[in-house]
Copies of this chain bind each other. A is one copy, B any other.
Amino acid sequence: MKYPSALLENAVNELATLPGIGRKTALRLALYMLRREPSYTENFANALVALRRDVKYCRTCHNICDEEMCPICANPARDHALVCVVENIKEVMAIENTGQFKGVYHVLGGIISPMDGIGPSDLQIDSLVARVASGDVKEVILALSTTMEGDTTNFFIYRKLSAYPVKVSVIARGVSIGDEIEYADEVTLGRSILNRTSFNDSIKL
């Protein structure tokens, strides 16, 4: 594709580096910016640069934040003895949206994936062990993806924490609310039968 302007080609090249954005979409986005007022593109660019330049990570849970400590870790009303281990900040936001969790988080920054060259040392596992070793944590909930990589990471963390007097649990896996049993996959359905809950417990929720 030949571009009539080097400026346009440069902008399209940059936009096309974003995941899921091809060159056609990138061109559409660049032309959209040309139709908007100049201050639009300036605000857009400033917001991205400011994010990358000024973003901080909570020194306790490694969640993204604007201060040295994230609002969740800084909140005295949360249960700091209950730590939920997640892959990324997107999972923190998803769990926070449920409104069901009153503990704090630990963001690993990924999961162990030898195929992608991500080993335990690339993740915030040592700092999790240090948090547990400090003795303030009573329970660690592993809330990673239910994939092979997630299971591997779960097991690795479980082994690392076995030296400490801490309860390690994983989030329940079963048939999603609203799903029909008929269409659930066999592994999920099998697990949901093995890990069945007492009816009395389930109606309390």
Interface set of A (CB-CB < 8 Å, partner B)? 1-8, 10-11, 13-15, 17-20, 25, 27-34, 38, 40-56, 63-66, 70-72, 88-90, 92-93, 96-97
Question: Can you pick out 13 interface pairs between chain A and chain B where the beta carbons lie within 8 Å of each other?
Answer: A1-B93, A1-B97, A4-B72, A4-B89, A4-B92, A5-B55, A7-B47, A7-B55, A8-B55, A14-B48, A17-B44, A41-B49, A44-B45
B93 near A50: Cβ-Cβ < 8 Å:
no
Chain A at the B interface: mostly helix, strand, loop or mixed? helix
Assuming the contacts A44-B17, A46-B45, asked whether A52 and B33 have C-beta atoms less than 8 A apart, the reply is yes
A-B contact sample (16 more), CB < 8 A, given A14-B43, A27-B93: A2-B97, A3-B93, A4-B63, A4-B64, A4-B71, A5-B65, A7-B50, A8-B55, A11-B48, A14-B47, A18-B29, A34-B52, A38-B53, A41-B52, A45-B46, A45-B49
Q: How many whole Å from A109's CB to the nearest CB in chain B?
A: 9
How far apart are the CA atoms of A46 and B7 in the complex, in Å?
11
How far apart are the CA atoms of A4 and B32 in the complex, in Å?
30
How far apart are the CA atoms of A20 and B18 in the complex, in Å?
14
Contacts of A93 in B (CB 8 A): 1-4, 27
Q: How many whole Å from A145's CB to the nearest CB in chain B?
A: 15
Contacts of A4 in B (CB 8 A): 63-65, 70-72, 89, 92-93
B97 near A51: Cβ-Cβ < 8 Å:
no
Contacts of A25 in B (CB 8 A): 20
- Please name the residue on chain B nearest to A25 by beta carbon: B20
Contacts of A92 in B (CB 8 A): 4
